[in-house]
Structure 1
Amino acid sequence: MPLNFNDFGIDCASMAGSLETRLAAARQSGFTHAMIAATDIVGHPANTETAVRTIRDSGLRVTGLEALRDFEGLSGKLHEYKVDVAKSMLELCSRIGGRLLLTEASASAHADIDPEKIARDLRKLAFLALPMGIRIAFKGVSWSRTVRDFPTAAEIISLADCPNLGLAIDAFDVIAAGVPLDDLDLVFPDQIFLVQLSDFMLQEIRSTDEQAATAAHFRVFPGEGAHSEDIARFIVKLEEIGYFGDYSFDVYNTDYLQMPAETIADRARRAAEWLGETVLRRTLPVPNMERLRAARQAGNRN
């Protein structure tokens, strides 16, 4: 199914400013959906209800809520504590109209690495989410103690065997860790619930600590970094295996947080245009292109 602009969303954490400002910037740049952080909601200067109303009235679909961390592999009081946190985040996700909760593999030193234990915990999380119509997108990260990449995450998900438990795959993690793209052939496309996109300036990352620091502070948009060809191959491979879900630009960059949200949203729009038009050699559907042009003209007038 050909990519078009509506396949791409922006992570609000990529932009600076109030929640209202960031949502408006995303909408003005032509995006139809955005990733929301739980801290954006509970940290709103008015109150949580105001944040929920702001999101629901924004005209944007919620890509998902992020991020539940360090959930799986714990026991005793630590496990009970994380279950309470998960219930609260699922409730928050439901209130904003979200249908996906991003869950990152645990980096806790107390987490058990037994695949059966991890699968059992994720199955519990998925069952908690099921009555709310929420899917769990589980992401392996290289600094995790339990699951460090998407092939391992896919094995855990198959072990858990829940219809609303799937994968989140981050292009940054794949490229920085040198995960072979052929590993995507081992994943059923309907197992993938979310794909996150970003690039980075370094030619190579030489340690896990450097990867974690780059992931948190120095990402750039696809087409801006040193790995454009890798991003292109990644997207084409996903198309080849039949992925048809959302893409989200999760560009965490400390420098970008010192720039206007509108500027960053426009950079994201250019990345979407590059991916849709140049990488896949396809032209975006005319209505979406007209919307982009209108958004650009409105921005220039302002």
Structure 2
Amino acid sequence: MNFNDFGIDSASLAGSLETRLAAAKRAGFTQIMISAADIVGHPQDTETAVQAIRNSGLRVTGLEALRDFEGLGGRMHEYKVDVAKSMLTLCDRIQSRLLMTEASSSTHADTDPEKIAKDLRKLAFLALPKGIRIAYKGLSWSRTAKDFIAAADIVGLADCPNLGLAIDVFDIIAAGVPVEDLDAIFTPRVFLVQLSDFMLQEVRSPEEEIMTAARFRVFPGEGAHSDILSKFVVKLEDNGYFGDYSFDVYNSDYLQMPPEEIALRARRAADWLGETVLRRTLPVPNMERLRLAGRH
């Protein structure tokens, strides 16, 4: 495993879609998480955005995010199924093999796990012919799955091969979840791990957590929780996780800085995780020259 396991979220960078793709590429990333808004909000048209992504040379980590899908009934459910079909088509067009869906926060959502599992099973079946996996992410402010443990229970009930979990380490740190809780989930069901930190020593209210999550995240190694973040990543690896890591950093200040600068900060985070935390073998400048010199 190497640097290619790490990707950056396009929402971490300012500028046009093309500018953000180029900044990620120049920083050495080989994959990027794409928001549906990046595509449908392109100033030219959707096809231009799709071609920009496909021509960038970057693999799409996943498309985000289908929200408030599960637990609804009647016309609301039918409406959300139509939205899901559209997003799956978009996902396929950018050659992404993963769609992330966030646990519903709608006050109209049914909290019955069987109902939620049934809806997610339907979503997974819709994705199956396109070869797309669904990554279900628990949220602390959700009505249906407040954390990755609850999300894992629902995924287990749904029992679909292309339905798994997205784990956001920010949520785990903010909630003070023990590292050992990762032992309670079936690691092969984890399809995506999102990584970020924050500067506050603690979040003191649900409102503060939502605000920090949306506007004040920082890259791993930059925040106040490097130690616990490191332990979670190592625990995931020890438990057999071998999927992608995406730097899910939403920061209002970063959006006022050059995207090239922010992409390089993300690169330093990947190097720190790979070389220091996980001790992975990453490309080292002039390594071939040093190897050749050692033969003489």
Instruction: Give, in whole Å, the separation in 1 of the partners of 2:208 and 2:287.
Output: 38
In the alignment, the residues of structure 2 paired with residue 282 and residue 67 of structure 1 have an alpha-carbon distance, to the nearest angstrom, of 30
- Bigger mean CA deviation after superposition, 174-183 or 59-68: 174-183
Task: Give 1:209 shift.
Answer: 1.3
Residue 289 of structure 1: how far off its partner (Å)? 8.3
Contact 1:171/1:196 (8 A) holds in 2: yes
Distance 1:269 1:122, change over 3 A: same
Query: What secondary structure is seen at the aligned counterpart in 1 of 2:107?
Result: coil
Query: What secondary structure, in the 3-state scheme, does the structure 2 residue paired with 1:193 have?
Result: strand
| Residues 1-302 of structure 1 mapped to structure 2, 5 A cutoff | 3-286=1-284
Q: Distance in 2 between matches of 1:282 and 1:32?
A: 17
Amino acid aligned to 1:272: A
Equivalent position SS for 2:11: helix
**Residues in 2 aligned to 1:69 and 1:282: alpha-carbon distance in whole angstroms:** 35
Task: Give distance in 2, aligned partners of 1:18 and 1:99.
Answer: 24
Question: Letter of the aligned partner of 2:164 in structure 1?
Answer: G
The amino acid across from 2:184 in the alignment is L
Query: CA–CA distance in 2 between the matches of 1:289 and 1:181?
Result: 36
In the alignment, the residues of structure 2 paired with residue 265 and residue 32 of structure 1 have an alpha-carbon distance, to the nearest angstrom, of 12
Q: 1:208 to 1:277 in 2, by over 3 A?
A: same
Deviations 1:148-197 (A, max 9, x none): 10011000000000000000000100100111221111212210000000
In 2 relative to 1, CA 68–287 (structure 1 residues): closer, same or farther, beyond 3 Å?
A: farther
Q: Distance in 2 between matches of 1:285 and 1:273?
A: 10
Stretches of structure 2 that go unaligned for 5 or more consecutive residues are: 289-296
- Displacement, 1:235? 0.6
Give distance in 2, aligned partners of 1:115 and 1:184.
21
Which residue identity is paired with 1:206? R
Equivalent in the alignment of 1:299: none
Whole-angstrom distance in 2 between the partners of 1:109 and 1:180 = 29
In the TM superposition, what is the alpha-carbon distance from 1:288 to its structure 2 partner? Answer: 11
Q: After superposition, give the CA deviation of every residue in 1:85-131 in whole Å (9 maximum; x if it has no partner).
A: 00000000000000000100000000000000000000000000000
Q: Equivalent pairs: percent with the same residue?
A: 77
Deviations 1:11-51 (A, max 9, x none): 00000000000000000000000000000000000100000
1:296 equivalent in structure 2:
none
Q: CA deviation at 1:233?
A: 0.3
With structure 1 as the length reference, what TM-score do the two structures score?
A: 0.93
Q: Which amino acid letter does the alignment assign opposite residue 14 of structure 1?
A: S
Q: Distance in 2 between matches of 1:289 and 1:138?
A: 41
Q: Deviations over 1:211-231 (max 9, x none)?
A: 111000000000000000011
SS at match of 2:28: coil
- Three-state SS of the structure 1 residue aligned to 2:106 is coil
**Cα distance in structure 1, aligned partners of 2:284 and 2:150:** 40
Structure-2 change in CA distance of 1:152 and 1:285 (3 Å)? same
